[in-house]
C-alpha cells in the first residue's frame, strides 16, 4: 500500500470550485482517494481535504492546485489528518 | 445609478479601455448588444464564426500585450469559441470571452441553445465565471481583467445568463479598474546563485521563450546576452525577443531548428531558460536535451519550474524583474572560445534555404515579403509548413510582431489573428502567411476583412495538401499519403474575389516580385496565391519523440 497524504485547501465557496479542483486531478489520471468539504464561518469560504496517494507527481499537483484563482491556501499533512480518521468510521 | 447588467458590462469594458470587440450576437446575448448600441463608444466587429472572433481578440492582445474581449451567444456560439480559448491558454494570451447563457431558472433544463459553458471552459481557461446576479458583475468584470493580465497571462470566460443581463441594479459608484497584480518579490539568494552559475559557465546558452515577449524584457535579455557574450536560442514563441541578425542569436531551437542551433545545445554546459516551458517541440526527447548542461530556469509560474526538466537552479519571478536584478551580477566576458566554436558550427552546419532568391518558392516568398513589408510589419501565420518556414527564416527584429499558434497549433489561427493585429495597430503593415489547408479552417472571415476593409495581406502557399502531415507520412509512414493530398483543386483566386478581396497569383504573372510588391502596397485586404509543390519538405526535422541531435535533412553538401 502506498503512502498517503492529506492536502487541506481553503477555497472560495461557490458552485464550480470543486469541479476546478477535481478536474485537475482527473485529467492527469491522479485519483483522489478521499474528499471532505465543509463551509467555514459564514460560508464565504470552505475547507476541502483531499486524501491522495503520495507519488512523485504530488509536488506538481500541489503547484497546479495552488494556481487556481479560487484556492486561497494550500497546506499539506504528510502524516494524515483526523478528518479522514473520523470519516473512516462511517464506511467501516 | 440604476443600470441593467448588460449596461454595466459594456460601461465597465469601456472603462477598462476596450474600444474594439469582435463577436456574434444571438438570443442569449442580445441585451449585451443592445447596451453596446446605446453606449456607442465601442466598435463591434461582426465575424462569421465565433472562433474567428476569438482569434481577432488574440491578435489584438498579442500585439498590445493587454487583455482583449470577444462576445458569443450561448450554446453553439460558446462551443465555437473553445478552440480560440484553449489556444490562448497554451500561449498565455490575455483574452476575455463573454458569453450569453440561458436565464438562470432554465440552466440545467436542456433549454434551447443551452450548454454548460462554465464546465466546458474549466480546463482551458486561467479562470472562469458563471455570473449569478447583476451586482456580481461590478466585482467580476474588473477581476477578469486583473486575472487575465496578472502573472502568467491567460484567458478568462465570463458566462452571463440573459436574465442577469436584463436585471436592473442600483449602485453608488463604479468599482476600481482591474489591473495586473504586482509582480512577485524576488529571492536575492536565487538571483545570486544563478549569476554565479552563469559567470562560472564555459559554454552557456540563453534559451528565451514567450515569457520574454510577454514581460516586455527583450532589451534586458539582449543586454544579458551581450554583457556575458552568451549565445541565445529562441523558442517559437520567443522569436523577436532579440534581433535575428544579431551575432549572438542562433535562431529557433527544436524540431525545425537549423542544424547548428541544435548542435550548439548539445555542447552547452549551462542552459539558462528564461520564460520557457520546455515544450516537446523545442526539447525533443527531454532526457537527451542538452545532455551536458546544468539548467537554470526562470519563470513567473512556479508550476513550470521542475515540471518537465528538473532545474539545478530556479528563479521564480517576472522575467523582466529577474533579468534586471541579474544583469549587474553578470560579469562582462567575451567567451571567445565558445563563440568561436559556435561560429564553426554555424559555418559547417548552416541553415539551408532552398529557393531563397525565388519569390515563387516557399522560402523565397517569405524572404521577399519580409523585404517589402519592412521592419515594422506584424507577421501572422497559420499552422503547417509555411509556419515553420516563416519561423526559420523571417528576419524578426522586435517583440510583439510575431503572432503564431505555438502551443495548440491551431490551423485557422492566422487570418483572424491578422485581422485583430491590424485592428490593434492600424499604422503597421500586417502580413499573414497561410497554407491551403489552414486558411480553409476560418476562410469565412475573409468576409470580415472585406466588410471592414482591414488591410491584411494573406500570402497563401498552396500545395493542395496538408503539407506537414504529408511530410510525416513521407518520413515516418512509408510514404503512404493517406488523407493528406487533396484530389481536386480549389480556386483560391475566385474564392478571394467572391469574398470581395483583391487577389494576386504569383503562379500566373510576368514578374512575381513586382506583383508581390504591388499586392503588399495596395490598400485594403489582399490574397496572394503562391502555388508550390507538395514535395518540398521543411528541413531539418527532428522526428516527434526523438532527440534533437537526430535531425533529418538540411545537410550542407558543399
Judged by DSSP in three states, B296 sits in strand
Please state, in angstroms and rounded to a whole number, the distance separating the CA atoms of residues B273 and B237: 13
Q: What are the b/e assignments for B131-165, b being 16+ CB within 10 Å? A: beebbbbbebbbbbbbbbbbbbbbbbbbbbbbbbb
Q: What is the DSSP letter of B527?
A: E
Exposed/middle/buried for residue B479 (C-beta within 10 Å: 0-12, 13-18, 19+): exposed
Count of residues in chain A: 92
- What's the CA angle centered on B540, arms B539 and B544, to 5 degrees? 105
Could you report the predicted ipTM of this complex, rounded to two decimals?
0.94
Cell numbers for B22: 469582435
Give the model's pLDDT for residue A2.
67
Report CB contact under 8 Å: B147, A63. Answer: no
Q: Is B492 on the interface with A (CB under 8 A)?
A: no
Please state, in angstroms and rounded to a whole number, the distance separating the CA atoms of residues B162 and B399: 40
Give the model's pLDDT for residue B378.
98
In sequence order, what DSSP letters do the residues of B385-442 get, joined into one string?
HHHHHHHHH----STT-EE---SS--TT-HHHHHHHHHHH-TTS-EEEEEEHHHHGGG
Contact between B239 and B391 (Cβ < 8 Å): yes
Report CB contact under 8 Å: B130, A16. Answer: yes
Mean pLDDT of chain B: 97
Q: What are the b/e assignments for B73-99, b being 16+ CB within 10 Å? A: bbbebbbbbbbbbbbbbbbbbbbbbbb
Contact between B32 and B98 (Cβ < 8 Å): yes
Q: What is the pLDDT of residues B449-476, one digit of tens each?
A: 999 999 999 999 999 999 999 999 999 9
| Per-residue CA distances from A3 to A56, A86, B498 (Å) | 11, 19, 66
Q: Which of B123, B301, B306 is the closest to A27 by Cβ?
A: B123
Of B457, B458, B455, B451, the C-alpha closest to B500 is B451
Cell numbers for B348: 559547417
Judged by DSSP in three states, A82 sits in helix
Going by C-beta distance under 8 Å and a sequence separation of 6 or more, which residues neighbour residue B473?
B479, B480, B481, B482, B484
Please state, in angstroms and rounded to a whole number, the distance separating the CA atoms of residues B544 and B291: 18
Q: What is the DSSP letter of B465?
A: B
Please state, in angstroms and rounded to a whole number, the distance separating the CA atoms of residues B377 and B71: 28
- CA dihedral for B52, B54, B56, B58, sign (positive or negative): negative
Residue B299's DSSP bridge partners are B316
User: SS in 3 state form for B246-282?
Assistant: CCCEEEECCCCCCHHHHHHHHHCCEEEEECCCCCHHH
| pLDDT classification of B337: cutoffs 50, 70, 90 | very high
Report CB contact under 8 Å: B118, A66. Answer: no
How many Å from the N-terminal Cα to the C-terminal Cα in chain B?
76
Please state, in angstroms and rounded to a whole number, the distance separating the CA atoms of residues B411 and B405: 8
Mutate which of B136, B143, B303 to test chain A, going by most A C-beta atoms within 10 A?
B303
Contact between B252 and B236 (Cβ < 8 Å): yes
Q: What is the pLDDT of residues B140-186, one digit of tens each?
A: 999 999 999 999 999 999 999 999 999 999 999 999 999 999 999 99
Q: Which of B123, B306, B307 is the closest to A23 by Cβ?
A: B123
Please state, in angstroms and rounded to a whole number, the distance separating the CA atoms of residues A85 and B12: 49
Give the model's pLDDT for residue B131.
98
Which residues from A are below 8 Å from B128, CB to CB?
16
Q: What is the pLDDT of residues B376-433, one digit of tens each?
A: 999 999 999 999 999 999 999 999 999 999 999 999 999 999 999 999 999 999 999 9
Report CB contact under 8 Å: B306, A59. Answer: yes
Give the strand order in the sheet containing B294-299: B249-252, B232-234, B204-208, B270-274, B294-299, B313-316
Task: Give residue for cell 485537475.
Answer: A24
Q: Which of B122, B130, B302 is the closest to A20 by Cβ?
A: B122
Give the model's pLDDT for residue A92.
80
Mutate which of A66, A69, A72 to test chain B, going by most B C-beta atoms within 10 A?
A69
Count of residues in chain B: 558
Going by C-beta distance under 8 Å and a sequence separation of 6 or more, which residues neighbour residue B50?
B23, B24, B70, B72, B77, B78, B80, B81, B84
Give the model's pLDDT for residue B443.
98
The answer, yes or no, to whether residue B288 has pLDDT greater than 90, is yes
Q: What is the pLDDT of residues B220-272, one digit of tens each?
A: 999 999 999 999 999 999 999 999 999 999 999 999 999 999 999 999 999 99
Q: Which of B126, B127, B307 is the closest to A60 by Cβ?
A: B307
Give the model's pLDDT for residue B177.
98
Which residues from B are below 8 Å from A64, CB to CB?
303
Mean pLDDT lowest among A25-29, A46-50, B50-54: A25-29
Give the model's pLDDT for residue B306.
92
CA A41 to chain centre: 19
Give the model's pLDDT for residue B20.
98
Q: Is B145 on the interface with A (CB under 8 A)?
A: no
Please report, rounded to a whole number, the percentage of residues in chain B having pLDDT higher than 70: 100
Q: Which of B119, B147, B303 is the closest to A64 by Cβ?
A: B303
Please state, in angstroms and rounded to a whole number, the distance separating the CA atoms of residues A32 and B29: 38
Element of type H or E holding B212: helix B210-214
Please state, in angstroms and rounded to a whole number, the distance separating the CA atoms of residues B384 and B40: 40
Mutate which of A12, A13, A15, A16 to test chain B, going by most B C-beta atoms within 10 A?
A16
Please state, in angstroms and rounded to a whole number, the distance separating the CA atoms of residues A84 and A70: 23
Which residues from A are below 8 Å from B119, CB to CB?
19
Give the model's pLDDT for residue B250.
98
Please state, in angstroms and rounded to a whole number, the distance separating the CA atoms of residues B444 and B442: 5
Cell numbers for B199: 559567470
Give the model's pLDDT for residue B343.
97
Q: What is the DSSP letter of B485?
A: B
Cell numbers for B298: 526562470
Amino acid at each position: 500500500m502506498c503512502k498517503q497524504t492529506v492536502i487541506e485547501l481553503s477555497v472560495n465557496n461557490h458552485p464550480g470550485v470543486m469541479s476546478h479542483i477535481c478536474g485537475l486531478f482527473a485529467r492527469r489520471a491522479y485519483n483522489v482517494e478521499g474528499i471532505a468539504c465543509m463551509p467555514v464561518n459564514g460560508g464565504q469560504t470552505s475547507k476541502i481535504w483531499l486524501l491522495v496517494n503520495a507519488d512523485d507527481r504530488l509536488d506538481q499537483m500541489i503547484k497546479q492546485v495552488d494556481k487556481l484563482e479560487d484556492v486561497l491556501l494550500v497546506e499539506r499533512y504528510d502524516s494524515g489528518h483526523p478528518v479522514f480518521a473520523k470519516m473512516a468510521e462511517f464506511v467501516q | 445609478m440604476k443600470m441593467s447588467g448588460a449596461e454595466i458590462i459594456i460601461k465597465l469594458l469601456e472603462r477598462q479601455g476596450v474600444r474594439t470587440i469582435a463577436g456574434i450576437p444571438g438570443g442569449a446575448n442580445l441585451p449585451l448588444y443592445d447596451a453596446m448600441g446605446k453606449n456607442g463608444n465601442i466598435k463591434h466587429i461582426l465575424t462569421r464564426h465565433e472562433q474567428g472572433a476569438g482569434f481577432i481578440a488574440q491578435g489584438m492582445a498579442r500585439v498590445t500585450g493587454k487583455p482583449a474581449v470577444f462576445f458569443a451567444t450561448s450554446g453553439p456560439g460558446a462551443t465555437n469559441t473553445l478552440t480560440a480559448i484553449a489556444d490562448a491558454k497554451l500561449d498565455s494570451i490575455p483574452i476575455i470571452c463573454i458569453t450569453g447563457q440561458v436565464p438562470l431558472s432554465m440552466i440545467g433544463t436542456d433549454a434551447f441553445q443551452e450548454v454548460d459553458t462554465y464546465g466546458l471552459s474549466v480546463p482551458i481557461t486561467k479562470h472562469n465565471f458563471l455570473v449569478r446576479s447583476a451586482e456580481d458583475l461590478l466585482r467580476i468584470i474588473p477581476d477578469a481583467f486583473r486575472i487575465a493580465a496578472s502573472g502568467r497571462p491567460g484567458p478568462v470566460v465570463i458566462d452571463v445568463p440573459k436574465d442577469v443581463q436584463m436585471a436592473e441594479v442600483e449602485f453608488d459608484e463604479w468599482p476600481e479598474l482591474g489591473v495586473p497584480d504586482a509582480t512577485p518579490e524576488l529571492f536575492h539568494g536565487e538571483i545570486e546563485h544563478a549569476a554565479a552559475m552563469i559567470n562560472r559557465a564555459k559554454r552557456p546558452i540563453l534559451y528565451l521563450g514567450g515569457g520574454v515577449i510577454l514581460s516586455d524584457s527583450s532589451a534586458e535579455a539582449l543586454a544579458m546576452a551581450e554583457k556575458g557574450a552568451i549565445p541565445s536560442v529562441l523558442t517559437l514563441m520567443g522569436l523577436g525577443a532579440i534581433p535575428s541578425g544579431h551575432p549572438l542569436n542562433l535562431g529557433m531551437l527544436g524540431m525545425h531548428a537549423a542544424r547548428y542551433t541544435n548542435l550548439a545545445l548539445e555542447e552547452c554546459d549551462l542552459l539558462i531558460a528564461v520564460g520557457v516551458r520546455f515544450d516537446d517541440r523545442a526539447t525533443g526527447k527531454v532526457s537527451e536535451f542538452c545532455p551536458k548542461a546544468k539548467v537554470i530556469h526562470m519563470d513567473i509560474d512556479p508550476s513550470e519550474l521542475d515540471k518537465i526538466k528538473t532545474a539545478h537552479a530556479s528563479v521564480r519571478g517576472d522575467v523582466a524583474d529577474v533579468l534586471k536584478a541579474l544583469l549587474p551580477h553578470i560579469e562582462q566576458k567575451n567567451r571567445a572560445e565558445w563563440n568561436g566554436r559556435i561560429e564553426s558550427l554555424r559555418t559547417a552546419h548552416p541553415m539551408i534555404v532552398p529557393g531563397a532568391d525565388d519569390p515563387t518558392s516557399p522560402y523565397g516568398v517569405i524572404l521577399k515579403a519580409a523585404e517589402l513589408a519592412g521592419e515594422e510589419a506584424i507577421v501572422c501565420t497559420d499552422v503547417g509548413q509555411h509556419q515553420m518556414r516563416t519561423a526559420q527564416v523571417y528576419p524578426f527584429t522586435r517583440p510583439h510582431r510575431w503572432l503564431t499558434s505555438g502551443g495548440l497549433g491551431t490551423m485557422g489561427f492566422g487570418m483572424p489573428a491578422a485581422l485583430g493585429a491590424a485592428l490593434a495597430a492600424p499604422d503597421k503593415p500586417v502580413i499573414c502567411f497561410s497554407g491551403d489547408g489552414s486558411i480553409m479552417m476560418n476562410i469565412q472571415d475573409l468576409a470580415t476583412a472585406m466588410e471592414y476593409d482591414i488591410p491584411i495581406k494573406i500570402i497563401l502557399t498552396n500545395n493542395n495538401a496538408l503539407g506537414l502531415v504529408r511530410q510525416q507520412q513521407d518520413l515516418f509512414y512509408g510514404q503512404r499519403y493517406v488523407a493528406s493530398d487533396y484530389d481536386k483543386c480549389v480556386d483560391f483566386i475566385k474564392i478571394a474575389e467572391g469574398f470581395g478581396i483583391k487577389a494576386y497569383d504569383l503562379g500566373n504573372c510576368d514578374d512575381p516580385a513586382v506583383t508581390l510588391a504591388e499586392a503588399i502596397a495596395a490598400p485594403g485586404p489582399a490574397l496572394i496565391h503562391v502555388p508550390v509543390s507538395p514535395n518540398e519538405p521543411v528541413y531539418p526535422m527532428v522526428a516527434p519523440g526523438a532527440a534533437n541531435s537526430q535531425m533529418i535533412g538540411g545537410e550542407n553538401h558543399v
